[in-house]
Structure 1
Amino acid sequence: MKKIPFVKYTMHGNNFVIVDEIDKSLLTESEKFRFAYQATNMNYGVGSDNFLVIQPWTSETLEEIKDFRNYWKMFPSLGADEAGSGDAEYIFRMFEPDGKEAFSCGNGLICISDYLYQKYDVESARMMTEIPTRSPKAVTIGTDSKEELNWANMGPPRISSNTNTVLSHKIEPIDIQIKLPENGLSNSEKEISIKFSGYLVFTGEPHLVIFTELGFSPAKMASLIFDSSSMRDSGALLNKIGRSLNEDTQRFPEGININFVRLNSGVLEYRTFERGINHETQACGTGAVAVSFVAKHLNLISTDKITIWPYLSRRHNPNAQICVRKDKDDYILYGKPSLLFDGNFFVEEG
């Protein structure tokens, strides 16, 4: 058995177990796959939404990932930053409960930025993300100590994971129709057809953004999603829609995160079903960026400083809000995560 030190962070209830491998490797690639279950399972492990690893950006680390995962044939090129550097300091890894590696995570990057600042006094760093794609990207994260905020520059929203093509100013919706039990909740054999339009955006993760007040039918289903008096039913409906769409591997081969959005007194409010976890989470950073981007391009909001309410998180903290700022083509996510606790977990070697 070996002892694995970890920290647990949360950002609006979206919570993570983080293992720091900056100074030395603690888990082999095969052990990371297995540890994801132990890190995320609340009954037989620590309990979290996802398992994060931070590693040094070195040829040795990249070689180990390449040889074991076969994501790339050659070391990926990250592209130059504003200073002309094509290097990164760290590698950001995120694993789902089943051990599969995800692309990226806005809230996870925010938590990592706070961790780097608190432990290593790192105010800003370039981070390699989107590891399990043909072309990983680099994002810059940091801490504004004066404002006591952490941030992650998620870059410009793109068309998909394997392209650098930035989404144009004109985005077109896709129309979707699915069938669910009539009330959307039970195992009744009687089905009802649900129709809606959504916008596909890649913000480090693939997202579908759906405005429930724009073409979502039947109306009773749309109103249920943000019905605070029926949280159990609305959550069940949201998860059924999310799972139904993720079963459509022909349309969404990588899976899809689904954001349900409404305008509430001029503020964007949203709920997100996450593809790897396969259920709704309290909040989603890349989802907040996707929602901001679509709302801007639909002219639903005019400001470049966007406030978003994470609906489920606000059930716990009525003041919870996510801030996104548009800077030219880039979208920057802001927040203040919380370190919950640190500890050690014992795992079998090999």
Structure 2
Amino acid sequence: MDIQVIKVHGSNNDFYLIDEMNENLPITEEERSALSLAVCRRTKEEGADGILFVQASSTCDAKMRIFNSDGTEASMCGNGLRCVGRYVSEKLGKDQLVIETMKADLAVRKEAEIFPDIPTYRVEISPVLKSTKALPMNTDMGEIIHERLPFLDDELIFTALSVPNPHLISIVGKEVLATDKQERIAKYVNGENEWFPDGVNVSFINVMGDQSIFVRTYERGVGFTNACGTAMSASSLVTKWEENLEDEVLLDVYNPGGMVKCHVHDLPEKTWIDLIGNATYEYKQTLTVDLEAKKIHFGERESFENETKAYDAFVSHVKKIIEAI
């Protein structure tokens, strides 16, 4: 079976995008999982954080399904949604869209470039759920907002949210970022444990300035990632609460893969976050797949060289800002 893919990334959170809008691949649900395991496995030249399946929707402009590199299906992916949004926007010739995801229909629109020659899209991140049942988490606490969790760490303060992916977040200093605390905690809550039966994404935030933060995320099903869109969105909301920022604050959110902007809308009637950032194409490629034999042949690439160069320039710019603080 030959599959046409586009290698894409949002903040260097990278994916293989597969268009199924006209016809779904002739594979079972189990084979989707097997495909993501086989195709996303990292080598020197190939691999990704996941696969984005772009499908037809009966209610929206398109539907997104995201499978992680470990074969599990995620309920949402903010960085992936920007890439899907760009693909559907250009395919349909529309600058504003609604994309169906597992738990919500989300607004997407084309935005002004975040940096010269960087295709940029704004995507809605919602719903925001504070209940520990939504994570899920085995606890008598109904919410975890600015709480110590001694079973994880004696000093750190945590907030737990679903947006709708589950997130456990702590604001820390640079000295904590330099330790192995985040990895230790993340591996525990994503292994066999009594608290988080489905695992949870773990993010550490370092506040860089009045309206800028750095976020590093250990993503369940992936591990440490260059960026996680829902994690950066949830982290922006937590920062808004912890730093007593205005209800409609716009934050610059730096990450190991680049930078995005998060527009927090923390209003009485509804809370959501708009995630604004790149949707970059790296190359087109044909994959020849034999799932029964567990064989994948990666064909020749058709590169989007100008987009890659533009994003490299953006990353260099971002690194200078981070180093100057």
Task: Place the TM-score, normalised by the shorter chain, in its bin.
Answer: 0.7 to 0.9
User: Do the aligned residues in 1 keep the contact of 2:85 with 2:99 (CA within 8 Å)?
Assistant: no
Aligned to 1:284: 228
Aligned to 2:87: 115
Aligned to 2:317: none
Distance, in Å, in 2 between the alignment partners of 1:200 and 1:152 is 22
1:261–1:92 distance in 2 versus 1, CA, 3 Å: same
Aligned to 1:260: 204
1:177–1:248 distance in 2 versus 1, CA, 3 Å: farther
User: Do the aligned residues in 1 keep the contact of 2:127 with 2:164 (CA within 8 Å)?
Assistant: no
Aligned to 1:158: 129
Is 2:91 the counterpart of 1:126? no
Per-residue deviation, residues 227-252 of structure 1 (Å, max 9, x unmatched):
4xxxxxx4x54322210122254311
Secondary structure (helix, strand or coil) at the match of 2:156 reads strand
User: Do the aligned residues in 1 keep the contact of 2:89 with 2:97 (CA within 8 Å)?
Assistant: no
Aligned-residue identity in percent: 21
Aligned to 2:175: 223
1:171–1:293 distance in 2 versus 1, CA, 3 Å: farther
Q: Unaligned 5+ residue runs, structure 1?
A: 59-86, 131-135, 164-169, 180-192, 214-221, 228-233, 314-319
Per-residue deviation, residues 63-83 of structure 1 (Å, max 9, x unmatched):
xxxxxxxxxxxxxxxxxxxxx
Secondary structure (helix, strand or coil) at the match of 1:321 reads strand
User: Do the aligned residues in 1 keep the contact of 2:240 with 2:249 (CA within 8 Å)?
Assistant: no
User: Do the aligned residues in 2 keep the contact of 1:11 with 1:107 (CA within 8 Å)?
Assistant: yes
Secondary structure (helix, strand or coil) at the match of 1:291 reads helix
Aligned to 1:269: 214
Distance, in Å, in 2 between the alignment partners of 1:117 and 1:161 is 36
1:249–1:339 distance in 2 versus 1, CA, 3 Å: same
Distance, in Å, in 2 between the alignment partners of 1:305 and 1:112 is 26
1:46–1:35 distance in 2 versus 1, CA, 3 Å: farther
Secondary structure (helix, strand or coil) at the match of 1:112 reads helix
Secondary structure (helix, strand or coil) at the match of 2:150 reads strand
Aligned to 2:17: 18
Query: What does residue range 15-164 of structure 1 map to in structure 2 within 5 Å?
Result: 15-28=14-27, 29-43=29-43, 46-58=46-58, 87-130=59-102, 136-144=103-111, 149-159=120-130
Secondary structure (helix, strand or coil) at the match of 1:289 reads helix
1:120–1:88 distance in 2 versus 1, CA, 3 Å: closer
Aligned to 2:148: 175
- CA drift at 1:10: 1.1
Aligned to 2:306: none
Aligned to 1:63: none
- CA drift at 1:339: 0.3
Distance, in Å, in 2 between the alignment partners of 1:41 and 1:105 is 19
- CA drift at 1:98: 2.3
User: Do the aligned residues in 1 keep the contact of 2:62 with 2:88 (CA within 8 Å)?
Assistant: no
1:101–1:224 distance in 2 versus 1, CA, 3 Å: same
Distance, in Å, in 2 between the alignment partners of 1:44 and 1:25 is 30
1:288–1:242 distance in 2 versus 1, CA, 3 Å: same
Code of the residue aligned with 2:261 in structure 1: it is C
Secondary structure (helix, strand or coil) at the match of 1:159 reads coil
- CA drift at 1:285: 0.8
1:340–1:146 distance in 2 versus 1, CA, 3 Å: closer
- CA drift at 1:42: 2.4
Equivalences, count: 275
Q: Give the RMSD, CA atoms, in angstroms.
A: 2.7
Query: What does residue range 188-199 of structure 1 map to in structure 2 within 5 Å?
Result: 195-199=155-159
Aligned to 1:187: none
Secondary structure (helix, strand or coil) at the match of 2:89 reads helix
**Of 167, 171, 174, the match for 1:207:** 167
Distance, in Å, in 2 between the alignment partners of 1:275 and 1:160 is 19
- CA drift at 1:292: 1.2
Code of the residue aligned with 1:298 in structure 2: it is E
User: Do the aligned residues in 2 keep the contact of 1:129 with 1:138 (CA within 8 Å)?
Assistant: yes
Code of the residue aligned with 1:141 in structure 2: it is V
Distance, in Å, in 2 between the alignment partners of 1:265 and 1:142 is 28
Aligned to 1:302: 246
Code of the residue aligned with 1:205 in structure 2: it is N
User: Do the aligned residues in 2 keep the contact of 1:7 with 1:19 (CA within 8 Å)?
Assistant: yes
Distance, in Å, in 1 between the alignment partners of 2:234 and 2:16 is 24
User: Do the aligned residues in 2 keep the contact of 1:110 with 1:141 (CA within 8 Å)?
Assistant: yes
Q: Unaligned 5+ residue runs, structure 2?
A: 135-142, 293-325
1:121–1:288 distance in 2 versus 1, CA, 3 Å: same
Aligned to 1:246: 190
Moved over 6 A (4+): none
